[in-house]
Structure 1
Amino acid sequence: MEAASKIEKFKINVSSKQPTALVAGGAGFLGSHLCESLLSQQFNVIALDNLSVSGSKKNIERLLSSPNFSFWEEDINKPDFKLSPTIPLTHIFHLASIEEHLSSDKLSLQTLLVNSLGTKNLLDLAVERGVKFILVSSTEVFHGALSQTSVDNYFGKAADPEQVSFSEAKRFAETLTAEYFRSHDAQTTIIRVKDPYGPRMSLDVGSPLGQMIEQALNKERIELTGDGLQTYNPTFVTDIIFGIVKASVGNFNGKIFNVINPEKYTERAIAETLQKIIGGVEIVFKKKGDLQLSSYPLIINPTQEQLGWEPKVSLRQGLEETISNLKGETFAREAEIAQTKGKRDVGQPKKQFKTNSSLVRRIIIITLAVLLFWILLLPPAVLFTNIYSGARNIQNAEKSLKGDNFESAVDQAKKAENAFNGGQNSSKSIFWAPFLPALSDSLKQTGNLLFYAENISAATKNLGEGLNIIEESEEKQLSEEKLSEKLLKAGLKIDQAARNLEIATSVEIEEGKLLPTTSGLLADLKENEAELTELINALKQSLPN
């Protein structure tokens, strides 16, 4: 477990006058370049990355000082993945796990999760907020042939299992995105890339292009398989980012674009270009391996015509800049981001409801009156019931926690978490509130309070579960190995509690605008937050790493 000395307050820097983009995989190779480009286009940018695969804080180090940039270390695969409702969004970019050829079974599983659970979480957020969702995928989705007996042969004889995971994962992510477009009217666009390269690219992911660059940089022999005629479509990173940004500001709902250099290069041609740039590097040919699947045709015309995109950076120029960056030199070059014309999609106007003023029979009038009464009063009633239930349960949970009754604390905190979540849904169901501006503001701030309360409850629940594991471990005579496993499990629960508190502290609440009955709840929750923070920090320092 990676222990921290204290819980950091998680805050997002945004300006309400500018569009705000959430970039999943923002600390990766492509993601960090996208963050830079969006900032130059006057976006607020939130880079989200769990730093477990290809992301690195080094990639975004120079962006951290920007007032419009925030970094959020979080895992989009979590079932309880959430973003504070006080953080405005206009765009969501999904570039997590775009790196190919991952190098272990564990990372292969991570690829599947990011492109299934992670994609669903981000799509749900996009639908909830009514914002654009841009999935960055790969042409690897085209690989494969159906087998009736095994998935191992989808991608050819002796296929790399990690490559299988990547291709199937991206195929599923695209299918899920298309389904959300059809079934939920989500504003989705899919961008496919192939053979990306450029500054900050990782040489550890096993891509053929990366391997050749690494061999050239190390002054080793550049080894080519067979006759070196295997072809690639090297596409420079700034060209790819230009296409992604252009797709994001246009109205391309439901579209799929192949942002790929149409010019093919053989392995030999790439190796010879590297040889000319670096010099003193020998090219050798290895014995031909397993038969490769024939390449598939790339359809580029729609991208060039509809998106108005084409690559600008030549292979020689791109490799020179990549090598210069990887050597640690500075290479000044401004990204070519064209001015995008056209109006932004601002959504559909609200429907106008017409009333029928004609006389109707008494029974219909009575029925409509009862129905109207039900619609107007039920959501507020459910809202206040949930607030009362949540407040009572979180109070009982805190008492149980202080009394070392951890199982009871967990049970009460779960009830509080569910009640506060239900209250948020009820507050959104009061459709007539916008006609009363003061009430609308109060409901919005109360919704923020309930989101805060939900995460305080979740922190209490996870902390209780962690403490319960520790208590059980102390009561039993466990071997050192078993004890270590139990403490690790407890530590993970405590880490999750810390994450819940981070999310809770990101919420901004205007106390003066809260509904009158909720001001006392906020004060109690603030007190709970301080006590939880102190206890979690103490536990993190005492538990083994």
Structure 2
Amino acid sequence: MGSELIYRGHDAQPAPDTYSPKPDKPLLWLSRPIRYMLREQRLLCVLVGIVITTVFFSILPSKPGTAALGGSGSGYSFDPVPYSSLNRLEEYQHRAAYHHPMLSSGAGKVPLGLKRKGLRIVVTGGAGFVGSHLVDRLMQRGDSVIVVDNFFTGRKENVMHHFGNPRFELIRHDVVEPLLLEVDQIYHLACPASPVHYKFNPVKTIKTNVVGTLNMLGLAKRVGARFLLTSTSEVYGDPLQHPQVETYWGNVNPIGVRSCYDEGKRTAETLTMDYHRGAGVEVRIARIFNTYGPRMGIDDGRVVSNFVTQALRKEPMTVYGDGKQTRSFQYVSDLVEGLMRLMEGEHVGPFNLGNPGEFTMLELAEVVKETIDPNAKIDFRPNTEDDPHKRKPDITRAKELLGWEPKVSLRKGLPLMVKDFRQRVFGDQKESSTTTSSSS
């Protein structure tokens, strides 16, 4: 009988009728580190290390200046967050929370002389008379300063002593054209301020006041910067109120030869307040009265510089009209102090910044004669159009809210200006005579 050969390896299992997926694999990625930690008491070592580290850092003394404001023994201090890790807007907000009481809760007002982190500040018209003195103070305080000037009335010589300082930049630019910068504060001074200069091209003057101010306000809105407008006492025109307070609306001729400046500044104030109310831009407005000091333009047509230059050159001092019209004269360092207090303070303004000491033009001429040449003569000429008869600031608001008032009297400040003018006037004459002899 034949044997049956049976290949049992091929005994087929009954095929399942339904599909059954493979069972899930264990979470190896989770189990492996757990087994590693449990092996050889590694978990115990980790716990011991954590305890030692905690004890070590709790024993270390905290560094001075890193405690929060109001902390025990800390006084005024600074947040240790490195500024390099913040973008520009966050950096300004971080600084502003300390520097500006209105942006922070519970932080006191920071005095101007207190050492603190430097800000990045742009000064339009920073190569001019007032602007260059402001730049000096900001640089001395430790800020980084960008000067923007088209050099129509500004002089590069006014800021040359800052060349080479890594915290100083100079840009030749007209504010009528847009400018993109990242800054914390904007001091907007750009505009010719003397009648000789702003009457030279009146359309350009009003464009600087209107379009230039629009551009700078737009920049302040984009980067979250605080904006300070330097307006002028000319917004009061030929005032019917004396002395002038900030609530006085003025008596201005809108179609006169000085209107490009007077009405331009009035419009600039309007734009500034509209950006403040409508766009939330932090703004400040200063109304500057007659200011004098070193670096004034020698032939800028303003009365103090005219009298000083003419007396130095042995020329008659020109007095327009009967000489009984009055002005107030503040020294430039007083003005710079007022501008900085306004920028760092809590109040929008406007604020009158001027010296309430009132002088007639004849009295000013006598002071110049005492300082330079007792034998100087006076030449009377017809008065100019729209020339204000009286000009004197009421600075009550500045005293009460800014704690500011001028310190330098005319008889103390004028000799400092004369010293600068003497060097420039006679230096220019020496250069001119040298050039003439060389050409001949």
TM-score, reference length from structure 2: 0.63
Matched, 1:117 2:202: no
**1:19 aligned partner:** 119
**1:77 aligned partner:** 176
**1:59 aligned partner:** 158
TM-aligned CA deviation for residue 226 of structure 1:
4.1
**1:38 aligned partner:** 138
SS state at 1:72 partner: strand
CA contact (8 A) 2:235 2:252 kept: no
TM-aligned CA deviation for residue 240 of structure 1:
0.3
Separation (CA, whole Å) in 1 of partners of 2:339 and 2:416: 21
Which amino acid in structure 1 is aligned with residue 166 of structure 2? P
Residues 472-515 of structure 1, C-alpha deviations (whole Å, 9 max, x = no match): xxxxxxxxxxxxxxxxxxxxxxxxxxxxxxxxxxxxxxxxxxxx
TM-aligned CA deviation for residue 285 of structure 1:
4.8
Q: What pairs up with 1:237-252 in 2 under 5 angstroms?
A: 237-252=332-347
Q: List gaps (5 residues or longer) in structure 1.
A: 1-14, 146-152, 330-545
TM-aligned CA deviation for residue 286 of structure 1:
1.7
TM-aligned CA deviation for residue 295 of structure 1:
2.7
Separation (CA, whole Å) in 1 of partners of 2:204 and 2:319: 30
CA contact (8 A) 2:355 2:393 kept: no
TM-aligned CA deviation for residue 288 of structure 1:
4.9
**1:224 aligned partner:** 319
Compared CA separation, residues 179 and 317, structure 1 to 2 (3 A)? same
Separation (CA, whole Å) in 2 of partners of 1:290 and 1:61: 36
TM-aligned CA deviation for residue 281 of structure 1:
3.5
How many aligned residue pairs are there? 299
Which of these two proteins has the greater Rg computed from alpha carbons? Answer: 2
Match of 2:201 among 107, 116, 122: 107
**2:84 aligned partner:** none
**1:260 aligned partner:** 354
Compared CA separation, residues 264 and 105, structure 1 to 2 (3 A)? closer
TM-aligned CA deviation for residue 21 of structure 1:
0.5
CA-atom RMSD in angstroms? 2.6
Compared CA separation, residues 265 and 287, structure 1 to 2 (3 A)? same
TM-aligned CA deviation for residue 110 of structure 1:
2.1
CA contact (8 A) 2:198 2:261 kept: no
CA contact (8 A) 1:98 1:137 kept: no
SS state at 2:231 partner: strand
Match of 2:393 among 295, 298, 301: 298
Compared CA separation, residues 50 and 288, structure 1 to 2 (3 A)? closer
SS state at 1:102 partner: helix
TM-aligned CA deviation for residue 34 of structure 1:
0.6
Separation (CA, whole Å) in 2 of partners of 1:22 and 1:124: 14
Which amino acid in structure 2 is aligned with residue 58 of structure 1? E
Q: What pairs up with 1:128-527 in 2 under 5 angstroms?
A: 128-143=222-237, 155=253, 159=256, 161=257, 163-252=258-347, 254-286=348-380, 288-289=382-383, 293-295=388-390, 298-328=393-423
Q: Higher helix share goes to which structure? A: 1
SS state at 2:369 partner: helix
Separation (CA, whole Å) in 1 of partners of 2:209 and 2:201: 12
CA contact (8 A) 1:195 1:209 kept: no
TM-aligned CA deviation for residue 234 of structure 1:
0.7
TM-score, reference length from structure 1: 0.52
**1:495 aligned partner:** none
Q: List gaps (5 residues or longer) in structure 2.
A: 1-91, 96-116, 240-250, 425-440
Which amino acid in structure 2 is aligned with residue 95 of structure 1? L
CA contact (8 A) 2:325 2:388 kept: no
Residues 93-144 of structure 1, C-alpha deviations (whole Å, 9 max, x = no match): 1000152213476532221111111100100110111111000110101116
Compared CA separation, residues 132 and 103, structure 1 to 2 (3 A)? closer
Compared CA separation, residues 210 and 155, structure 1 to 2 (3 A)? farther
Identity %: 33
CA contact (8 A) 1:102 1:108 kept: no
CA contact (8 A) 1:100 1:166 kept: no
CA contact (8 A) 1:191 1:256 kept: yes
Matched, 1:47 2:142: no
Compared CA separation, residues 287 and 102, structure 1 to 2 (3 A)? closer
Separation (CA, whole Å) in 1 of partners of 2:199 and 2:401: 39
